[in-house]
A = this chain, B = another copy of it.
Amino acid sequence: MNPPAPLLFYFDFISPFGYFASLRVEALAARHGRTVDWHAMLLGVSVMKVMGLKPLLDTPLKGDYIRRDAQRYMRRHGLVLKRRLDDPVMDPRAAGRAFHCVKHHHPALAVPLAHALYDAYWAQGRDLSTADAIADIALPEGLDPGWLRAAIASDEAGALMRSAVDASLKAGIFGSPTLVVDGEPFWGVQTLELAEEWLQRGGW
């Protein structure tokens, strides 16, 4: 018998709601005997280029709602950020490249790295926009900072990132977080409960 398919977790490191979901998806999957396959994507491509929208926080009315919703979520889940939602948005490509290089060459370290990157950016308020800044955070054991620095700058990293973004668009993914359960997409951290109900009932 084949093991059940992993849940697919799509996220962008600059997405606070992606960060919130990253703290819950592993436990959610484990409750149902599943694993999670993590996919870093780029909202700058899906939202701004493909969908033609402006950034969420810059959208009149909706931006204020999102700020409030994030605060409400953090209070409910006991989270504290060292970064304000309105701080200038970092270029997430270096972090995305780091993730995809590690996923390609050291797959067992990819999720620990994603957690480390998310934690450094949102919980610690660190910069992750350059290879140097990324090599400088508390990396998962077994990941060499020098190797990572070079990997982020490599042509291969660019190709892996581009191909991951293309694949996410082809899969219809546009937002962070999106959790795909047996082909069924759930967009937004608010839908994690619904995704779990889908897992429990085997869909409807």
Residues of chain A touching chain B, judged by Cβ–Cβ distance below 8 Å, are: 46, 50-54, 59-62, 64-65, 68-69, 72, 75-76, 169, 172-175, 184-185, 187-188, 190-191, 193-194, 204
Contact = CB atoms under 8 A, between A and B. Distances in A.
17 contacts: A51-B60, A51-B62, A52-B59, A53-B59, A60-B174, A61-B172, A61-B173, A61-B174, A64-B172, A65-B172, A65-B174, A65-B185, A72-B204, A76-B204, A190-B190, A190-B194, A193-B193
Contacts of A191: 190
Nearest to A184: B72
A62 B188 CA distance: 12
- This chain: how many copies in the complex? 2
B68 A185 contact: yes
Contacts of A185: 65, 68
Contacts of A62: 51, 174-175
Contacts of A169: 61
Nearest to A77: B204
B46 A50 contact: no
A65 B191 CA distance: 13
A65 B174 CA distance: 9
Given A190-B191, A191-B190, A59 B51 contact: yes
A87 B192 CA distance: 30
A173 B60 CA distance: 10
A68 to B, nearest CB: 7
Contacts of A193: 193
A174 B66 CA distance: 12
